Amino acid sequence: MDGKNILVTGGTGSFGGQIVRELQRYCPASIHILSRDEKKQYDMQLEYADCPNLRFVIGDVRDFERLREAFRGIDLVYHAAALKQVPNCEDSPFEAVLTNIVGAENVRRAALDAGVSAVVSISTDKAVKPVNVMGMSKALQERAMLSRPVMNRQTKFVCVRYGNVLGSRGSVVPLFRKQVFAGQPLTITHPEMTRFLLTLHQAVELVFWATVYGEDGDLWVRKMPAARITDLARVLARGLTGKEDYPQINTGTRPGEKLHEVLVSEEEMWRAKEHDGHFLIPAWFKLEGMDGPTSGAAAEYTSNSTELLSDDELEGLLESDGWFEIKSIHSRYKLVA
C-alpha cells in the first residue's frame, strides 16, 4: 500500500474511519474517502487536518457515473459502503437492494473501467444462510463481486466476511452503554443468543490480510470467538457500574434476527482451506471439475459451535477496546450516578 492511491467507499462510517486511521502507517500516496454524508466528511476533515494525503469525495455507490469519475487513477478500493441495519433493511428492502447489490455492481464495473488493481469488499456473517433482507442483499453482493472474471481484466476482486464489530454504529455494545448511562435495564432479545465478536482493529487486520494474500475470487473469513449476548451485557455493565446483577429484560427477537450466526456454511466448509487462523473460500469459477461434498464434510462454523468467550476474556476484549472508559472514544454519553 506504500505509495498507492487508495479509495474507501463508505469512508466516513465506523469501519471506514478505522481503516483510514490505520492506512496512514503504510504511507499511501493518497486516501480518497467517498461517502454521501457531508456532515461526517466535514468532521473527518477537521480530525485529519494535518494529513495532506486525504481527499474527500461526496458520492453514492448507487451512482455509477460518479464512481467512474472517482476511481480514475485509483490503485486499490476498499468497498465498505452498505446499508447494514437489519430492521431498516426489513422496513425498506429495495433501498438495501440499491445500495448493497446495485451499488456493489457499480463498484465492480467502475473498477474494471478505471483499471483499478484490486477491490476488497466487506461482507458479514448475515450473508450466510440469510433470513433477513440485509443478509440476502450482502449474499448477492458477495456473488456479484466474486462472479466469473471478465476476459483479460486487470482487476482482482476479493471479499472478507466477519461477525459483529464492537465499535460499529448500531451494534449492541454502544446501545448497552447508552442504557447503562441512562440508568435503564439492558434489553436482550433472547437469553440464548450468541454472536461472533471482534474489534474494529481486528476487522481492519482481516482486510489488510486479504489485500496481501487474496487472489481474484477469494473470500476470506477470520476464525473468531463468540459470546452469549447476556454474558456480554452483564460483563459490560459490571465494568461500568461495579454491579454484578445489573438488570436485564428480554424483549423478544426482532424481525429477521437469528438466534445464532453462521460464518461459514456446511456447503462452503468442504471447499474451504485453512490458513493461519483464517478460512479461504475460493469462488465457484475456480473449482470447475472439483469433486463435490462428501458425507464426511465438515460441519458449518457457527457462533454457538465456536469458542465462547469467558467473563475474563470478554472483560479483556471490552477493556482493550475502550468500552469501560466513562469518556470513551465510542460514546458522548455520561454515566448516571
pLDDT in tens, the chain (337 residues): 788 999 999 999 989 999 999 998 898 999 999 999 999 999 999 998 888 999 999 999 999 999 999 999 999 999 999 999 999 999 999 999 999 999 999 999 999 999 999 999 999 999 999 999 999 999 999 999 998 776 557 899 999 999 999 877 778 899 999 999 999 999 999 999 999 999 999 999 999 999 999 999 999 999 999 999 999 999 999 999 999 899 999 999 888 889 999 999 998 998 899 988 999 998 877 776 566 554 445 789 999 999 899 999 999 999 988 888 865 544 433 333 3
User: Residue 284 has what pLDDT?
Assistant: 77
Question: How many CA atoms lie within 13 Å of 62's alpha carbon, on the beta-carbon side?
Answer: 10
User: Residue 297 has what pLDDT?
Assistant: 55
Q: Using an 8 Å Cβ cutoff, are 100 and 171 in contact?
A: no
User: Residue 322 has what pLDDT?
Assistant: 87
Query: 181, 184, 166, 206: which is closest to 330 by C-alpha?
Result: 166
C-alpha grid cell, residue 227: 459470546
Query: 190, 159, 186: which is closest to 241 by C-alpha?
Result: 186
User: What does the chain come to in residues?
Assistant: 337
C-alpha grid cell, residue 311: 467473563
Task: For the beta carbon of residue 238, count every other beta carbon within 10 angstroms.
Answer: 17
User: Residue 332 has what pLDDT?
Assistant: 36
Cross-strand partners of 194:
228
C-alpha grid cell, residue 237: 455493565
User: Residue 308 has what pLDDT?
Assistant: 94
* Rama region for 41: left / alpha / beta (φ>0; ψ in -120 to 50; rest): alpha
Residue-range domain boundaries for the chain: 5-162+199-221
User: Residue 331 has what pLDDT?
Assistant: 44
Which of 4, 39, 84, 126 is flagged as catalytic?
Answer: 126
Q: What is the enclosing helix (H) or strand (E) of 236?
A: helix 229-241
Query: pTM (2 decimals)?
Result: 0.91
Annotated catalytic, 334? no
Would you tell me the crossing angle of helices 133-145 and 103-114 to the nearest 10 degrees?
20
CATH number of 5-162+199-221: 3.40.50.720
